[in-house]
Amino acid sequence: MRGKLAFAALLIAAPVAVVAHHGWGSFDASKHIAIEGPIQVSEYANPHVTIKVKAPDQVWTVELAPVSRMETRGATKDVVAVGKTVKAEGNPSKSHKNVMRAERITVNGKTFEMR
């Protein structure tokens, strides 16, 4: 019985996880943008790290790499801490205003590749 309950819980949770994480196809790879400003919010968690950056024109949500890739490349939680100034380069969302996927970020003169 316990096994059946665990399996049922997995069946219910799996679609939620799939819906919560989208593919990179929702970003326009033909357009390249760069924004720079202070980090206002930093969520260092999977499925990918997300920061909110106060650019001169608006606040952008910037989707970075998964935590494991960030750490492997030296982009620890401290690198994307609230208050740090970041330059993010990448692709805008096709469907959400002020959302981008970063290909790379630069913090304190050091560049971190996200892909």
What is the rounded distance in angstroms from the CA atom of residue 8 to the CA atom of residue 48? 27
The parts of the chain modelled with pLDDT lower than 50 are: 5-22
Give the model's pLDDT for residue 26.
84
Give the model's pLDDT for residue 19.
39
Choices 3.60.130.10, 2.40.50.140, 2.40.50.70, 2.60.40.10: CATH for 24-113:
2.40.50.140
Domain ranges of the chain: 24-113
3-state DSSP assignment of residue 48: coil
Amino acid 108 reads: N
Give the model's pLDDT for residue 16.
39
